[in-house]
Amino acid sequence: MPVFVGNRQTRMKTKIAMLLAAASCGWFTAVNSTSAQTWTQTSAPTEDWISIASSADGVKLVAMAGGKSPSPIYTSKDSGFSWTTNSAPNAVWGAIASSADGNTLVASVAYYLRTNVIYVSTNAGTSWTSNTNVPSLEFLACSADGRKWIASAGDGGIYTSTNSGTTWISNNVPKGFWFSVASSADGTKLVAVETTNLATYTRQIYVSRDSGGTWILTSAPGLYWSSIASSADGTKLVATATVTAYTSGAIYTSLDSGTNWMLTSAPNNMWYSVASSADGNKLVAAAPFDHSALVRVPLYISTNAGNSWVLTSSPGRSWQVVASSADGNKLVAITALDGIWTSQTPAPQMNLTPTNGKLTLSWVVPSTNFVLQQSSDLGSWMDVTNPPVLNLTNLQNEVILSPTGSSGFYRLKTP
């Protein structure tokens, strides 16, 4: 699936000798990411889908169905074009999460079954091993490298793991029923939702800034929070609340790791899920119905960290859960009995940063592979030989260049 229109590419001119950078536009007019967005139903079977996760580049996807009957786990290694089952046993699943490279996966069994078992894959779902004698876990999130995990255990609290789910440690959290969780890319900043009043469906949001060592109750209002997501650095948070007899549906954001929360302009829908790009600017939110619970609504997207929201071109479906690539350009959404849908929008932006006398070129892990090229005259281009290194703290590919005393042009090009 092409990322650019024609051979549109990103380029940038740099004065390396002075370590100053001046950005120039691409050769073609930029395409608005919202208007260019197209949603397509994949070949995934019709299931009551309940959980989905994506690798940082959006290529590797993993999804599971819910309900009361045991179901398989499905994986895709081509951005959702094709789906296959694997050696994971059929089970009544709870949730699934993925590392940034899509290789480390952890799947929980439905919490209410109290099975005390999770399933772990280290090869993108090809094979699975069971981990027994663990807490009965449900919702999951992990660091980019797949080593640090956070999981909610319902009325059992919050658990964390630092060894890819092999062992789990109980966190010192208030008594309650714990729900959705999210993690920064390095696993240091965590966020979790707790039900404080089962009678009025009121939930609160807690954050930890020391990998679960201590937890702080945030100032977020008491709503029926359904989902929460975090930017890679844990600074930007977004949370959705669904409609109940006591509370309204809403989307709130925080720009300071949960200290302060702001109500966004998103409509009063029965929000079920939200996902965020690595920089926290591109968000996608899903709701199966509007506030009246009568009309199915399309997915909503924000490209400015939640300041404004617009309808996507997706159809109105019983949307359940959404996931996003690190650059926010590949999105995937699951439905209740309406399949799995995907969308792809234009390319990443290249950044220039002076660093200790050198120059760092960086771009968020893209939804397709890009090659960094250089030119001295815009006529002939050659690949930059030193390969990009993935920074797991912000999910950006980085190439560090040394000053050469001359000017140069750099661009990201599709292979």
The CA distance from 25 to 312, in Å, is 26
- Predicted local distance difference test score (pLDDT) of residue 15: 28
Model confidence pLDDT, tens digit, residues 283-292:
999 999 998 8
Model confidence pLDDT, tens digit, residues 325-348:
999 999 999 999 889 999 987 666
Whether the pTM exceeds 0.85: the reply is no
**280, 281, 282, 253: which is closest to 266 by C-alpha?**
253
Q: Taking the chain, what is the end-to-end CA distance rounded to the nearest angstrom?
A: 12
Average pLDDT, integer, range 51-74: 94
- Close Cβ partners of 310 (under 8 Å, ≥ 6 residues apart): 34, 300, 301, 302
Quickly count helices (H) and strands (E) in the chain: 0, 37
pLDDT exceeds 70 at position 10: no
Average pLDDT, integer, range 124-151: 95
Model confidence pLDDT, tens digit, residues 13-36:
222 222 222 222 222 222 334 445
The CA distance from 306 to 214, in Å, is 28
381 or 168, which is more confident: 168
Average pLDDT, integer, range 116-138: 95
Going along the chain from its start, the domains and CATH numbers come out as: 10-31+348-413 (2.60.40), 39-344 (2.130.10.10)
387 or 115, which is more confident: 115
